[in-house]
Structure 1
Amino acid sequence: MNISQEKVNDLNAVINVDITPADYTESVNKAIKEQAKKAKLPGFRPGMVPTSHIKKTYGKAILFDEVNRLVSDSLNTYLTENKIEVLGQPLPKEGTADDYKWDFSDEFKFQYEVGLAPAFEVPFTEKDKVTQYDIKVDEETLASRIKNLRKSYGKMTNPDVSEDGDVLYSTLTQLDKDGNVLAGGIENTASVRTDLVNDKKIKKSLIGLKKEDEVKFDLKKAFDNEAAARILNITQEEVDALAEPNFKLVVKNVNRLEEADLNEELFNKLFGEGEVKTEEEFRARVSSEVEAMLVQNSDQRLQNDLYNLGMEKVNVAFPDEFLKRWLKATNEKLTDEELVEGYEDFVKNLKWTLIENKIITANKLEIKYEEVFKLAKERIAAQFKMYSPEPIGEEQLAQYTVQFLQDKEQANRLFEEVKALKVFDYLKGIVKLTKKEIDYNKFLELK
């Protein structure tokens, strides 16, 4: 067997694979013998079918499979041993298919096109400066979090008159340009959340309403497409296409979620029996949890800034034509339109993956199973905590984690997360981090 590489340019190459009968005869004969032992054919006892009969009946199919396996294994070995970093998988070169006899005497010549990964250096150095934000919990943020917690355990009431934040259970009827009911138009009964209204004037018109009160307004002006689609029970595309966006709203009921009282009953529901006893302890506990969430927000911002820095500093080209052919070859249902629309994002993800892999390889970073297991365990424990303040037992949690990681897709996703965290931690020790205090509201305004 002879394997060689023809460099087309820095991003493309052709791999030539030449195979003679000496390369495949032994493995083909072995496969034929194995097939003879397993074959159950009329006129022959099980396991006693002559190899000559198997060769005559199934020989070409066996030869085809063995040659393909040999080519695939040899090609992968060649790329690994020669440290050729390819993107995607090799593709048979177009227009090179020969008319072989498949009679066990052919000398095969295969050609494969490969896309080569661009060469670049790790883009991060100690000269790079990145801001690390220390987000402070302001009173407005704390008050908002406390309000949401109280509402989560509050009770529903039906006041006579609506206020801001109430939910109006109403019938909505589509109107024409003159304000009359549109013949064949949309009519639906739904819950209308006043807190989602974008237009101040329309929101004001929905406050102070009682049962059977009516109000007319432009629904597309009042709500974003997602909320409008839910209210009318149509798709967002249909909302976009609405030629007549004016609707009449008739109130059927006013619903209000009253906030739970700040007492031990609420504290026990949130944090467990006896963990928090006073309002001061409650505020301190919530403040601590908000601070932990803000640390996550700060880390996410830092990760994004490091990502943008790396993407900006690595200015490389990709074998675009090859990659597009490979994407089409490996995704039969992918349309040309979808390929054009999604290719830019695909290349961005590919570029960052190459940067991550370069950092991991250059610095011999390891992703261990124990780290993936720990992350999975933390995620599962957090999910259980959402439904019950009582912690799940360690043994049971470990069993759930093992079961969870048996799903290859989930395991691979967590592996990629651990890899990203490993790279992130490494980069924090390389670049110069400039710490800056910032209020949460100001942090949200950052671009």
Structure 2
Amino acid sequence: MDIQLDQISKTEALIKINLKEADYQPKVEEKIKEYSKKANIKGFRQGKVPKGVIQKMYGKSILVDEINHMVSHKVMDYIKENEIELLGEPLPNQEKVEGLDWDNGSEFDFEYSIGMAPEFEVKVDSKVKVDTFSIKVDDALINETLDNLKKQFGEMTNPEQSAEGDSLYGFIQVEGQEEPAGTTLDLTNVEKKSLKKFLEQKSGDVVEFDVEKTIKDEAARAQFLGENKDLTGKIKFEIKNINRTIPAELNQELFDKVFGKDAVKTEEEFIEKVRTAISENYNRETDGYTQLKIRDKFIEDTKIELPDEFLKRWLKLSNQEITDEQIEQEYPLYTNDLKWSMIKSKIAKANEINVEQEEVVEAAKNMIRQQFGSMGMSEQMEANIDTFAMNYLQAEEGKNYRQLQENVFNDKIISFLKDKVTIKSKEVTAEEYKEKA
């Protein structure tokens, strides 16, 4: 068997294989013998079927199967032995395969296209600058959060007439719809100039309004429309119930509901604990943003030449349902993910960053603890945390383990980069962060 690599470019090559009869015939003969021993053919005793009969009935399919098996294994062995770092998977030249004369030929040629990872450099030092944000937890944000908590834990009432701040439960009247689904209109989502027509309404009243002009926020409008998401222009909304929340008092009862029994005792302690919780939440959010900025910075600054046409062809063959238009549209996202994966691998190799099994198991334990964090884990559950973690990691045929391993690996790379690059953080308000990030 002859095999050679023909380099097309830095990132593409052809693996060519020439297979002679002496390479495959022993395997084919061996397979025919196995068939003759196992075949159950009418007119012959089992195990006594002549090889000539097997050859006539199954010879061609045995030949094709054995050669394809031999060639595919040889290609992968060659890639492994020569330490070729693949992008995608080897793609066989189908025209060559379809042109093979299986009936009369004794020598066969195969050809595989491969995409290869290029050589590239990653600069990791303080000269790499990443801009990010930190969110200022000011008095306005604290007061807004306190108001939300008071409303969240407040008392629900059903007044006869609607007022500003209420929510209206009812039905959108649609012609031909016998059983319309109920929906809720939160008046805080209604534009101010349209709000008047929703005030002093009662159960049974019908309000007609332009849904797009009245609820300009797309997410709020979609939530209100529900199954009637395609409605536009003027609609009729029949009110069935008016809901109003009387805010809770800032007292021990509220403290206990929010943070647990006797966790805080005074209003000052409560506000400080709210401030800490907000800071932790926003720190997690801005940390995620910072990670994305680090990722984008390294993708932008690291020059990596990819075999674009090969990868597009491989993506198309890997998923027959995807269209050429979808590939062109999604290809930049795919290549960014691929480049980031390559960059992480290079950084890990250069700095001996690895993920041990113990780290994955510990990450699984912490994930389970977080899931029960709001209610706290009992001593019995904590005592069985090892079992819970292993059950999770072994589920989904190891998919959970691989996903968590990748998460741990990514966290270790990001942590390493944070210590090496220069991160400049600008303090902004929560509203400014929403606009900018």
With normalisation by structure 2, the TM-score equals 0.84
Q: Deviations over 1:61-95 (max 9, x none)?
A: 34433332322222122223323222111111242
Would you say the 8 A contact 1:12–1:116 is kept in 2? yes
Structure 1: give runs of 5+ residues left out of the alignment.
175-182
Mapping of 1:198-237 within 5 angstroms? 199-223=191-215, 224-234=217-227, 236=229
In the superposition, relative to structure 1, how do residues 234 and 60 fare at CA in structure 2: closer, same or farther (>3 Å)? same
Would you say the 8 A contact 2:369–2:377 is kept in 1? no
Mapping of 1:13-92 within 5 angstroms? 13-28=13-28, 48=47, 52=51, 57-92=57-92
Aligned partners of 1:42, 1:226: CA distance in 2, in Å? 70
2:308 maps to 320
Would you say the 8 A contact 2:18–2:107 is kept in 1? yes
SS of corresponding position for 2:390: helix
Would you say the 8 A contact 1:272–1:389 is kept in 2? no
1:177 maps to none
* AA at the equivalent of 2:273: R
With normalisation by structure 1, the TM-score equals 0.83
In the superposition, relative to structure 1, how do residues 5 and 206 fare at CA in structure 2: closer, same or farther (>3 Å)? same
SS of corresponding position for 1:429: helix
Aligned partners of 1:116, 1:372: CA distance in 2, in Å? 30
Mapping of 1:142-181 within 5 angstroms? 142-173=142-173
Establish whether residue 370 from structure 1 lines up as the match of residue 363 from structure 2: no
Establish whether residue 138 from structure 1 lines up as the match of residue 126 from structure 2: no
Aligned partners of 1:133, 1:159: CA distance in 2, in Å? 44
SS of corresponding position for 1:100: coil
* AA at the equivalent of 1:231: F
Deviation of residue 431 (structure 1)?
1.0
In the superposition, relative to structure 1, how do residues 213 and 88 fare at CA in structure 2: closer, same or farther (>3 Å)? same
Q: Deviations over 1:268-305 (max 9, x none)?
A: 44444443344333333332222222221231122122
1:422 maps to 412
Aligned partners of 2:32, 2:165: CA distance in 1, in Å? 76
In the superposition, relative to structure 1, how do residues 45 and 326 fare at CA in structure 2: closer, same or farther (>3 Å)? same
SS of corresponding position for 1:165: coil
* AA at the equivalent of 2:414: F
Would you say the 8 A contact 1:173–1:186 is kept in 2? no
Establish whether residue 411 from structure 1 lines up as the match of residue 412 from structure 2: no
| Identity among equivalent pairs (%) | 35
Mapping of 1:267-286 within 5 angstroms? 267-286=255-274
Structure 2: give runs of 5+ residues left out of the alignment.
none
SS of corresponding position for 1:234: helix
Aligned partners of 2:412, 2:96: CA distance in 1, in Å? 44
Aligned partners of 2:176, 2:280: CA distance in 1, in Å? 53
Deviation of residue 370 (structure 1)?
2.2
SS of corresponding position for 1:96: helix
Deviation of residue 366 (structure 1)?
0.7
Deviation of residue 6 (structure 1)?
0.9
Aligned partners of 1:173, 1:232: CA distance in 2, in Å? 11
In the superposition, relative to structure 1, how do residues 112 and 196 fare at CA in structure 2: closer, same or farther (>3 Å)? farther
1:341 maps to 329
Alignment RMSD (CA, Å): 3.3
Q: 2:341 aligns with which of 344, 353, 376?
A: 353
Deviation of residue 110 (structure 1)?
0.8
Aligned partners of 1:157, 1:102: CA distance in 2, in Å? 85
* AA at the equivalent of 2:301: K
1:180 maps to none
* AA at the equivalent of 2:317: A
In the superposition, relative to structure 1, how do residues 249 and 21 fare at CA in structure 2: closer, same or farther (>3 Å)? same
